[in-house]
Amino acid sequence: METSLADPLHPGWVEGWMVLHTRQELPGDFVSIHAHAADAQADAQRLGPGHQVFHGRYHAGNDEFLID
């Protein structure tokens, strides 16, 4: 997983392209975050059906994420 960008407005959060394992309802389960969309797309494709890419923010300390 490539390093994502620290979110300057939200300490402890990182901003980037997230791979989520989606179910019938969003947002789904967090899988990974990437600095570049192409890396996230490759990861989602490797993981298979049900994995989608969204841009957003992730807080590792409490496993929260926000989709833009």
CA geometry: angle 42, 17, 41, nearest 5 deg = 15
Does this model's pTM top 0.95? My answer is no
Tokens read off for 53: 């890419």
CA-based end-to-end distance of the chain: 20
Q: What is d(CA 41, CA 29) in angstroms, rounded to the nearest whole number?
A: 16
What residues does each domain of the chain span? 5-67
Q: Kindly report, residue by residue over 12-65, the tens digit of the pLDDT.
A: 999 999 999 988 777 789 999 999 999 999 999 999 999 999 999 999 888 899
